[in-house]
């Protein structure tokens, strides 16, 4: 990663990612409405919602909550910039996890029982998917011989050929990271689950707007992780990665609208089971072959 690549990624991800994330969120609402037999809001409705939140008075429980949410947004942007600059993938994983932890602390700082329950559920979600993400970075290193994201551009074939089971396991926990049913325990983007908004119960105005924008950045970053398995030293790989990522996002919308929320015990058990079986088998085979 060079200074030039970092600056390009900073400008590109900082400006383009929220636009793409907003369009993905709007497409999510539109497709969800059509699946439920409704017309649905316009594609740009998430933008209108954030603009309305920014225009409201900033009524926060305390100033610390605003700081924690702002740090969550900053870390999400930093993780995306490092990823697209070709930086260390392990560092990207740690930074995006830190972004989630700042959001959890923001919910706890409100001292609201509903927000604290949402924060506890968010912690359980982190415990569910984080082992898989760590093992995924290890598998990535074994396949590429480097933690640098830019290393995939020097390969003659995509790493999904070497890591098919890791890819499948990542798609399983991707539902948790995107906060979609059946694993949207702490915070749901739709009103079909609960009236109290979990971890964001005590957030409004500009604070809630920052949370929504953070989700836009996160969604773009997570779908880019999907593309990471499919790119190689050819521009065709980038095109394939974009098409597959969009297809998987559509699949996540279908899953979100066809499954009811499960208990946290089931989420934790299934995610750890998939992680241990799929990732361990794939990593062991990769180590034997290499």
Q: What dihedral do alpha carbons 102, 106, 109, 111 form, nearest 10°?
A: -130
pTM: 0.92
Per-residue model confidence (pLDDT) at position 27? 92
DSSP character for 145? S
DSSP secondary structure, 13-55, as one string: HHHHHHHHHHHHHHHHHHHHHHHTT-----TTHHHHHHHHHHH
Q: Tokens representing 218?
A: 């996160």
Per-residue model confidence (pLDDT) at position 181? 83
Per-residue model confidence (pLDDT) at position 133? 94
| Tens digits of residue pLDDT in 268-285 | 999 999 988 999 999 999
Per-residue model confidence (pLDDT) at position 158? 93
Residues in the chain: 290
CA–CA distance, 24 with 47 (Å, rounded to integer): 11
Q: In the chain, which stretches have pLDDT less than 70?
A: 1, 188-197
CA–CA distance, 164 with 170 (Å, rounded to integer): 10
Determine which helix (DSSP H) or strand (DSSP E) holds 4, and give its type and residue range.
helix 3-35
Identify whether the C-beta of residue 30 lies closer than 8 Å to the C-beta of residue 52. Answer: no
CA separation, residue 110 to residues 54, 141, 201, 211 (Å): 20, 40, 9, 15
Hey, which bits of the chain come out as E strands? none
| Tens digits of residue pLDDT in 202-246 | 888 888 899 999 999 999 999 999 999 999 888 898 999 999 999
């Amino acid at each position: 990663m060079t200074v030039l690549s970092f600056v390009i990624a900073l400008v590109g991800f900082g400006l383009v990612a929220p636009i793409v994330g907003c369009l993905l969120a709007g497409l999510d609402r539109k497709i969800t409405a059509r699946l439920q037999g409704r017309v649905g809001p316009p594609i740009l409705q998430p933008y209108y919602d954030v603009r309305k939140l920014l225009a409201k008075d900033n009524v926060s429980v305390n100033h610390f909550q605003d700081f924690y949410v702002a740090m969550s947004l900053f870390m999400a942007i930093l993780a995306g910039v490092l990823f697209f600059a070709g930086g260390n993938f392990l560092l990207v994983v740690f930074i995006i996890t830190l972004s989630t932890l700042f959001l959890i602390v923001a919910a706890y700082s409100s001292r609201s029982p509903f927000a604290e329950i949402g924060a506890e559920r968010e912690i359980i979600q982190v415990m569910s998917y984080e082992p898989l993400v760590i093992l995924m970075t290890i598998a990535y290193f074994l396949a590429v011989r480097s933690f640098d994201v830019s290393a995939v551009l020097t390969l003659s074939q995509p790493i999904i050929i070497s890591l098919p089971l890791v890819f499948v396991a990542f798609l399983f926990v991707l539902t948790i990271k995107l906060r979609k049913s059946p694993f949207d325990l702490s915070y749901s983007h739709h009103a079909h689950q609960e009236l109290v908004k979990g971890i964001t119960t005590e957030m409004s105005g500009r604070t809630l707007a920052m949370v929504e924008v953070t989700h836009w950045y996160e969604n773009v970053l997570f779908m880019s992780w999907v593309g990471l398995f499919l790119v190689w030293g050819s521009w065709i790989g980038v095109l394939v990665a974009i098409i597959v990522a969009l297809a998987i996002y559509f699949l996540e919308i279908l899953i979100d609208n066809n499954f009811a929320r499960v208990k946290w015990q089931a989420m934790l058990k299934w995610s750890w089971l998939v992680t241990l079986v799929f990732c361990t088998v794939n990593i062991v085979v990769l180590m034997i072959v290499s």
